[in-house]
Every structure is written in C-alpha cells, then in structure tokens.
Amino acid sequence: MTDLATQTALGAESRDDTPLDSRLADYRGELTGYCYRMLGSAFDADDAVQETMVRAWRGLDRFEGRSALRSWLYRIATNVCLDLLAGRQRRARPMDLSSAAWQPVEASLAARQPEATWVEPILDSQVLTSAGDPAELAVERESIRLAFVAALQYLPPRQRAVLILRDVLRWKADEVAELLESSVASVNSALQRARTTLGSDRVRDNASIDPLDDDDQALLTRYVAAFESYDIEAFVALLHEDATQNMPPFEMWLQGRHDIGAWMVGPGHGCRGSRLIPTRANGRQAFAHYRPSGPGGRHEPFALQVLEIADGRVVAISSFLDTALFPLLGLPEHLD
C-alpha cells in the first residue's frame, strides 16, 4: 500500500507526515502493558503485540477511520489476547497454589511446574508510559504489581479486559462497549463482578505503594551488600518477620526470615559470590541476579529478583529463575 493510500485509509487522524510504522511504534509500550496485564506473561505480551501490529497492517484497508488509531489497535490487541487465553489455565504465583508455606527441610527442587504456570515479571521501562506525571505513573506501577497481575488472572478474560480498560486505562463505559461490541449495561455488570472478585482478601497484600524514601534506599543498599557478601545474618535482619520468598518455576515458597535464612545457607548456598544489578520491574525495585560461573570472575544470569518493601523491611522476594527472561527484558547476558 502506498503512503497516500495508507493515509486515506486511516482517515482524518492520519493526515500528517509521520510514517505509519512510526505511529504504530508509538503505541508499542502501552500495548505491551495492556497485553501483559491480560496475559500475565512478558513472553506472551511480546507475542501479542507483534501479532497486533501484523493484524493492523493487514487490516488497513478495512479501517474506516471512524475511531482513533489507538482505539482500533486496542480492539485488535484485545481480540489477540482473548484468542490466546481461550482454553488456557490461569497463571499464578507459588503462594496461589498452596495455602501453607514450605519448610526448608521439606522443600524439593523436584517440585517444578512448567513456565506457563507462572505469572512472569516485566521491566517498568517496557510498559510504563506516563513520563513526567507522578500521579499517572503511580497508577501504572500499581497496575503491573505482581500481586495485582496475579489477581487479574482470577477473572474471566472479558471481565479482565473490562476492568483493565475501565479502572486502569480510564476508558469510558461506552468506549469499552464499542471495543467489545457489547452494551454499556453489560460492560458495567462485568466491571462490578470483576471489582467484587479483586476486592476479596485473597488477592490483597500489605506492601507500601508509596515511592521509596531515603530510608528505603538505604535498606536496599544494605540488602545488596549483605547478599553479595553472603552475610546471611545481616541479610535476614533486613527482612520482615513474616517475609515471603518464592522462586518460580519451583512451586515451593517460604515464609519467615528464619526459614528464608535456612534456605540461603542450605540448598541456596550456590548463590555465594553473586552480583546484583539494580533495575525496576513490576512497579518495584528489582535486581538482575548473576551467579559466578567459574574462574575468571565471569557471572551468568540466574534470576530476576522483584522486592516488596513495607515499614522499613523487605516483605517479599520473588526470584524468577527463567534466564530466558534476560535477553527478552534487555538485561546483560553476562557480567565480566
């Protein structure tokens, strides 16, 4: 399709000199965030956005320009996500699969589930788009928090889409109804049911939603120092008494600073000599964790740690051991 034909197909909104591929790319970040909330997977979100872009190009001749380009892309992305979710088991966190934590002496690394079982992390830089607006940025960060994304997976796919579009992206009810080819009454009913589900105690946590202050930053500095020196006594002193740790793809999870410390000096002792590189994931402080791989000082990817902090302590550590996440998330392949 020629540039002139493309601009005609896109209607009044497209009457500028910006190439179409550039304008489509402008929406990649927010579409990735939307698809990630829908699917709970960085890999699936990436695939969904790629498929959305392909369908958009192929469907240009059917786009009549009556709606904004953004709305049209969200309609395509929603349909892609609904197709991907059809017949799938919901993604979860380890603590969503068992009501009681494991004891370190009983924890078995053989208790492993396929990658598709778990909610995966995603870097803030890939999905947060509200640059310069602290209030909007705070909403975006909370809406990609691991606990919230895991809670979304309890919802049927269409309810999930309605809640994200209405409560996270602030679309109007009639806009969502048009996107889903439904009625406003149906959208409002789905939203009410979704809010009721997410309001239940099982999907809440007590982590702070406030920005990190100087004390929190000092806590993180001590966390890195204790972990890299493998000073477990200093490390556990930074944890809340009831702190949790989970390590997908293993279904076990630990609770309590004592058990976490016992794990670190027991089965987890291979993390001695590790290095942590700070980043941000799921609206929280995170660290790319590299373990020593032999003589010469080289370190290889091992896990992405996502932390939750509250009341001056670390209350949760989610360590994602899928090293395939590193290239997907643009993290270094190794450290020298």
State residue 112's pLDDT score. Answer: 86
Domain match, 170 and 221 both: no
State residue 99's pLDDT score. Answer: 84
Condensed to tens digits (0 to 9), the pLDDT of residues 126-173 reads 998 876 678 888 888 999 999 999 999 999 999 999 999 999 999 999
Under the banding of pLDDT at 50, 70 and 90, the label for residue 66 is: low
Q: Which amino acid is at 122?
A: I
Domain match, 97 and 77 both: no
pTM value is 0.88
**Which residues constitute the domain of residue 316?**
91-145+208-336
Report yes or no on 12 lying in a domain. no
Query: What number is the average pLDDT over the span 68-75?
Result: 91
Domain match, 282 and 227 both: yes
State residue 290's pLDDT score. Answer: 97
pLDDT for residue 174 is more than 80: yes
Give the domain CATH number at 103: 3.10.450.50
Query: What number is the average pLDDT over the span 31-52?
Result: 97
Total domains in the fold of the chain:
2
Domain match, 175 and 320 both: no
Report yes or no on 3 lying in a domain. no
Condensed to tens digits (0 to 9), the pLDDT of residues 269-291 reads 899 999 999 999 999 999 999 99
Cβ(292)–Cβ(298) under 8 Å?
Answer: yes
Query: What number is the average pLDDT over the span 186-203?
Result: 84
Rg (CA), the chain: 22
Query: What number is the average pLDDT over the span 292-304?
Result: 88
pLDDT for residue 21 is more than 80: no
State residue 94's pLDDT score. Answer: 94
Question: Which range has the worst mean pLDDT, 9-23, 112-126, 135-149, 297-311?
Answer: 9-23
Domain match, 242 and 259 both: yes
Residue that wins the pLDDT comparison between 252 and 137: 252
pLDDT for residue 13 is more than 70: no
Residue after which a domain boundary falls, among 203, 225, 245:
203
Domain match, 115 and 225 both: yes
Domain match, 186 and 321 both: no
> Which residue in 99, 201, 93, 94 sits closest to 149, CA to CA?
93
Q: Which of 1-15, 37-51, 119-133, 135-149 has the highest mean pLDDT?
A: 37-51
Give the domain CATH number at 158: 1.20.140.160
Domain match, 78 and 175 both: yes
Residue after which a domain boundary falls, among 186, 203, 220:
203
Kindly report the average pLDDT of the chain as a whole number: 87
Domain match, 126 and 157 both: no
Report yes or no on 10 lying in a domain. no
Report yes or no on 2 lying in a domain. no
Under the banding of pLDDT at 50, 70 and 90, the label for residue 224 is: very high
Domain match, 31 and 133 both: no
State residue 3's pLDDT score. Answer: 36
Report yes or no on 13 lying in a domain. no
State residue 4's pLDDT score. Answer: 32
Domain match, 188 and 299 both: no
Report yes or no on 258 lying in a domain. yes
State residue 26's pLDDT score. Answer: 85
Report yes or no on 60 lying in a domain. yes
Query: What number is the average pLDDT over the span 21-50?
Result: 91
Domain match, 183 and 282 both: no
